Structure 1
Amino acid sequence: MANQPRPLLRLKGHELLPADEDRRLEVGVYDVLLPCRKYEVAYKIAILGKVSQSLEFLLRLVKAVPGIEEGSAAAFFGFEQAEISYVLNEATGPGLVERREGRLWLTPAGDALFREGADDPSIYTVEERRRDLGFDLLAIAPQPPRAIDSVEMSLPELPIADPARTGKVGDRIFERFSRFFHELAERRDREQVQQPDLYSVDRVVPKDRFQVPVRVRVFAQASAPSLPEIDLSSWRAEHEISDRPQIESAAAMLIDDLKVNGNHIGVPQAYEVLVDLAPEFLKEFVTKSGLNVNRYWREAVGRAGEPRVDRKTVPIIGPLYTEANARRLLDVVDYGLRSGADQPEFLLSVAPQTRLWGATTQNRDTLSYLRRRIAAVAPASATELRAVCLFPGKAPWFVDRTFDEVLAADFSHLPPALEIMIVPHIAVAVLAHAPIGASSGYAVPFGWASFDENVVTRTQAFVADKLWTFMCDRETPDRLIKELQPRQKVESSGS
């Protein structure tokens, strides 16, 4: 009997998730500016029209029977002499039919009215057009300008692989206008004119430059979260993105440049803070060496993550300002508001020291949603609810314009990978921006949000203890410290 092959013994790898539990996660959102320019384009279009019914019948007959006698043509249609004379004048006037010795032939112009594969003759008229049109400077594709607000105008630009090429765009507009003509055709031409075709592009004059925000969403498989993939579907439809591969490549270059080494940004220290502030919530994932990140990651991916009365702390994956996480954060705040706490004076964000954190209007929108929700539920206070950011280093303009106040510091004792959001006495969220499952790669925001009173108190005390490094002026930090002080004693039971 032939020897049966022995089954291979496969050791279980260190994969983050088994294949049957893998899923796609949103791990980043960025708004970046696409450089564009307006061009005045002068061009001509050939507009397809229809000949009159009597002329059409005559042309088709002469096409089928070259050299037909005029009398035979009249008899074929049953025309009187006056009628056939009128139709012949309509045909010979523009040079479509030639009359010779009482017979009829199509001229080259008349024959050209019959397009290949078409039985019916068609005529064209040429009309001039002149329009101001926007094109991006990367793919040289149509991009209409729009008004942008103060946050958007301070966003970073998409990287340009070859900046010298942007100065030669005008020469390429002739070809690119032809490529996208039917997308650029005027609405009245599309609606009122049958089949307008581009006849010629005569002149291109460059005009003002402008910028348009492009939303880049970042996704990753849960099994390999530090290997990101970009998604531009919030900006344009898939078939339009396929016409703009240069923009897709620029967005991929931007995200690839955000990869970090976990040790260089203090990821282990950020994990320690996650555990110290919510020890009861994370106790099942802590070993002698600290937080078992892979195990907590699997748990976070598998959980729904929705807060409940008996689930006061929930996992968070991705930035707080993704649409899903913003809703989850609002739910956490709603539960926290049930405690009857007074409306706080501010919302406090401690920014991580990762590039392009907050480079999206979704950050501002999430803060606005929080303010409206708190103002609608909590008792009104004498002061306006303000958004304050603690930013280690010099804050970029888009952060300055997102928050009401930004307190900067030349140095900070906070781990660079750590992000904290505090709604005083109501709710908190703490995230570590870290390559998951690898020593380096894309830094995925990863942590928890909580309305547990003990977790909230610990987090506020932790931040209040670090505020002294942000004391650019004395009044603001003192006000923040006062607001972060516990309003009542909380016993040290778990989270």
Structure 2
Amino acid sequence: MGTLSRPLLRLKGHELVPPDEDRRVGLEVFDVLLPCRNYEVKYKVASLGQVSPTLEFLLRLVKSTPGISDNDAASFFGYSPSEMTYVLEEAFGPGYLERKAGRLWLTISGDGLFREGEKEPTIYSVESRRRSFGFDLMAIAPQVRRWLEPLEMVLPELSSEDPAGTGRVAERLPGRFRQFFRELADKADRGKLERRDIYSIDPVVSPGERYQMPIRIMTYAQASNPSAAEIDLSLWRPDHEIADRPEIERAVALFVKDQQTSVNQMDAASAYQVLVELAPEFLKDYTVRSGLSEGRYWRESVSRAGEPRVDRKTIPIVGSLLLPENIERLHAVLDYGLRNTTEVPSNVFAVAPQTRRWGATTQQRDLLILIQEKVARAFPGADRAELKTTCLYAGRPAPYTQKAFDEVLLSHVEHFPKALEVLLIPGVVLAAVVHAPLGSSTGNPVPLGLASFDPSVVDRGYQYVMDRFERYSNKDSAS
């Protein structure tokens, strides 16, 4: 008689999210530049047609007499050695004949030219092409060029194994051109009425102008292990195309890994304490004697991150403010906040966290423009350009940060915790996010914070930023 099975009693551990509540969570969005180059390629395409008379006779002879020798075939037609060489090259080039031990045989392709019920072979007529195509310099895959906006031109570039666009690229390009021919060929080569295919590629390709194209990277993680970021390139290309570009996928993975940091390096405890001071009522259930219980707040935020309401003036924020879903939340918060003021805001302030590649995306600029437009619509007669966007930055800002904001004020001394990001529209909205590893001492930063249109929270945020504002300057010598 067997014993009854009993469920095991498990002590609750310190996992951030229990297995039954685990889910995929968005973390960051980046735009990076893929190095590319135009190459002029000489190639030939073949369209369905009739064979040349000389090749037709040779193929029909080998079809009827498999294994005939070169000399016997030349004698049969009365060809000289040079004439026979020419005819054989016409057959060997596209792979219709093969030579084994000095004898000629039809290949599978050659035999396939003889359609059932027909004595004459059907072949492809060959046309020469010389065109320029764009390839990336990492996977050597097609990449169409387009005009870049000024901000896109200064985004970070992925490292290339062959920055000069020669050597390895030139060696691999003919084979890659053949692989991607259907994608690269123009309409004339892919004609709808006739089947066309690649015939041959000149082994010499001429490199042309170098250019860059942006790739959008999304990073995600499991809620149970948020500091282990995973990449997602689906906004750039579908999965089957990314599978043809493993070199790019590896480069993106290294780019994301390069964002890793430590809790101590980011002064995370001080940044979480700022959150508590800005919104003590909202965070009271997640505050312990030592400060914010970020693990508990993360678990609750992941499970209940929602939309603001009249009776929900402050909401959790999980992931970068620049994620599409968080931009929507910020606009909803902004809608409510604008109802609370009769005075036209004149500034948008941002405090930049000291994370690598913060704001390396056109989403930063787009968010600021959307805020400006929404404020302008809320106040008839107001001009979008009147709402000035200002970033407070410790250290030397990246060019894309300078392009995204109307002005960037600098300080060589840190007056805010390194992990803290703030977005403030005085009298309207406050968003505050901490960028630090979560659940481990090192790893990718995990943005976690709040957004609010609660007047008391917004006022605290305004006072907090203004207390430090005068220490920033538009000069490099700022301290």
* TM class by smaller structure: 0.7 to 0.9
- Contact kept, 8 Å, 1:178 with 1:198, in 2: the verdict is yes
- Could you give the per-residue CA deviations for residues 251-270 of structure 1, whole angstroms, max 9, x where no partner exists? 00000111110111110000
Q: 1:435 aligns with which of 416, 434, 437?
A: 437
Matches of 1:200 and 1:362 in 2, distance apart? 44
CA, structure 1 residues 466+356, in 2 after alignment: closer, same or farther (shift >3 Å)?
same
Give 2:375's aligned amino acid.
I
Secondary structure, counterpart of 2:332 in structure 1: helix
- Could you give the per-residue CA deviations for residues 351-399 of structure 1, whole angstroms, max 9, x where no partner exists? 1010000000011111111111110013545771121111111111000
2:143 corresponding residue in structure 1: 143
The alpha-carbon deviation at position 163 of structure 1 amounts to 5.5
CA, structure 1 residues 167+66, in 2 after alignment: closer, same or farther (shift >3 Å)?
closer
CA, structure 1 residues 350+400, in 2 after alignment: closer, same or farther (shift >3 Å)?
same
- Contact kept, 8 Å, 2:137 with 2:162, in 1: the verdict is no
Larger Rg: 1
- Contact kept, 8 Å, 2:388 with 2:406, in 1: the verdict is yes
Secondary structure, counterpart of 1:284 in structure 2: helix
2:112 corresponding residue in structure 1: 115
Secondary structure, counterpart of 1:190 in structure 2: coil
- Contact kept, 8 Å, 1:47 with 1:193, in 2: the verdict is no
Q: Cα RMSD (Å) of the superposition? A: 2.9
2:41 corresponding residue in structure 1: 41
Give 1:395's aligned amino acid.
P
Matches of 1:299 and 1:448 in 2, distance apart? 12
Secondary structure, counterpart of 1:191 in structure 2: coil
2:453 corresponding residue in structure 1: 451
Q: What does 1:248-263 align with in structure 2 at a 5 Å threshold? A: 248-263=249-264
2:394 corresponding residue in structure 1: 392
2:236 corresponding residue in structure 1: 235
Q: What does 1:96-175 align with in structure 2 at a 5 Å threshold? A: 115=112, 118-119=115-116, 121-160=121-160, 167-175=167-175
Q: What does 1:8-407 align with in structure 2 at a 5 Å threshold? A: 8-49=8-49, 115=112, 118-119=115-116, 121-160=121-160, 167-192=167-192, 194-202=194-202, 203-381=204-382, 384-407=386-409
CA, structure 1 residues 108+11, in 2 after alignment: closer, same or farther (shift >3 Å)?
closer
- Could you give the per-residue CA deviations for residues 267-316 of structure 1, whole angstroms, max 9, x where no partner exists? 00000000000000000100111111111111101114200000000000
Paired residues in the alignment total 428
Secondary structure, counterpart of 1:343 in structure 2: coil
Q: Which moved more, 1:278-287 or 1:167-176?
A: 167-176
- Contact kept, 8 Å, 1:49 with 1:194, in 2: the verdict is no
Matches of 1:466 and 1:118 in 2, distance apart? 83
Matches of 2:18 and 2:110 in 1, distance apart? 65
Secondary structure, counterpart of 1:151 in structure 2: helix
Give 2:289's aligned amino acid.
K
- Contact kept, 8 Å, 2:338 with 2:428, in 1: the verdict is yes
Secondary structure, counterpart of 1:329 in structure 2: helix
- Could you give the per-residue CA deviations for residues 209-262 of structure 1, whole angstroms, max 9, x where no partner exists? 100001111011111111111011111111100000000000000001111101
- Could you give the per-residue CA deviations for residues 92-145 of structure 1, whole angstroms, max 9, x where no partner exists? xxx9xxxxxxxxxxx999x97751795365331000001110110000111111
- Contact kept, 8 Å, 1:29 with 1:215, in 2: the verdict is yes
The alpha-carbon deviation at position 3 of structure 1 amounts to 6.7
Matches of 2:371 and 2:473 in 1, distance apart? 26
Matches of 1:370 and 1:6 in 2, distance apart? 58
Taking structure 2 as the reference length, the TM-score comes to: 0.83
The alpha-carbon deviation at position 406 of structure 1 amounts to 0.6
Secondary structure, counterpart of 2:376 in structure 1: helix
Matches of 1:221 and 1:3 in 2, distance apart? 38
- Contact kept, 8 Å, 1:343 with 1:379, in 2: the verdict is no
CA, structure 1 residues 296+112, in 2 after alignment: closer, same or farther (shift >3 Å)?
closer
- Contact kept, 8 Å, 2:215 with 2:236, in 1: the verdict is yes
- Contact kept, 8 Å, 1:341 with 1:425, in 2: the verdict is no
Matches of 1:380 and 1:356 in 2, distance apart? 37
Matches of 1:204 and 1:472 in 2, distance apart? 49
List gaps (5 residues or longer) in structure 1.
52-58, 68-94, 96-106, 477-495
Give 1:48's aligned amino acid.
L
CA, structure 1 residues 273+161, in 2 after alignment: closer, same or farther (shift >3 Å)?
farther
Give 1:267's aligned amino acid.
A
Q: Which moved more, 1:209-218 or 1:159-168?
A: 159-168
Secondary structure, counterpart of 1:255 in structure 2: helix
Q: Which moved more, 1:340-349 or 1:162-171?
A: 162-171
The alpha-carbon deviation at position 341 of structure 1 amounts to 2.9
CA, structure 1 residues 166+312, in 2 after alignment: closer, same or farther (shift >3 Å)?
farther
Give 2:432's aligned amino acid.
V
Matches of 1:180 and 1:472 in 2, distance apart? 50
% identical equivalent positions: 49
Give 1:451's aligned amino acid.
F
1:464 corresponding residue in structure 2: 466
- Contact kept, 8 Å, 1:48 with 1:193, in 2: the verdict is no
- Could you give the per-residue CA deviations for residues 26-50 of structure 1, whole angstroms, max 9, x where no partner exists? 1000000100111111111111237
Matches of 1:160 and 1:361 in 2, distance apart? 22
Give 1:271's aligned amino acid.
Y
The alpha-carbon deviation at position 165 of structure 1 amounts to 8.1
CA, structure 1 residues 123+108, in 2 after alignment: closer, same or farther (shift >3 Å)?
farther
CA, structure 1 residues 24+166, in 2 after alignment: closer, same or farther (shift >3 Å)?
farther
Higher helix proportion = 1
1:90 corresponding residue in structure 2: none
Give 1:255's aligned amino acid.
V
The alpha-carbon deviation at position 12 of structure 1 amounts to 1.9
Secondary structure, counterpart of 1:148 in structure 2: coil
The alpha-carbon deviation at position 440 of structure 1 amounts to 1.0
Taking structure 1 as the reference length, the TM-score comes to: 0.81
Give 1:413's aligned amino acid.
H
The alpha-carbon deviation at position 444 of structure 1 amounts to 1.2
Matches of 2:304 and 2:210 in 1, distance apart? 47
CA, structure 1 residues 428+50, in 2 after alignment: closer, same or farther (shift >3 Å)?
farther
Secondary structure, counterpart of 1:428 in structure 2: strand
- Contact kept, 8 Å, 2:162 with 2:169, in 1: the verdict is no
- Could you give the per-residue CA deviations for residues 331-358 of structure 1, whole angstroms, max 9, x where no partner exists? 0000001113322112111110100000
CA, structure 1 residues 112+135, in 2 after alignment: closer, same or farther (shift >3 Å)?
closer
- Could you give the per-residue CA deviations for residues 150-191 of structure 1, whole angstroms, max 9, x where no partner exists? 111101111335768864312221121112112111122223
CA, structure 1 residues 117+8, in 2 after alignment: closer, same or farther (shift >3 Å)?
farther
2:81 corresponding residue in structure 1: none
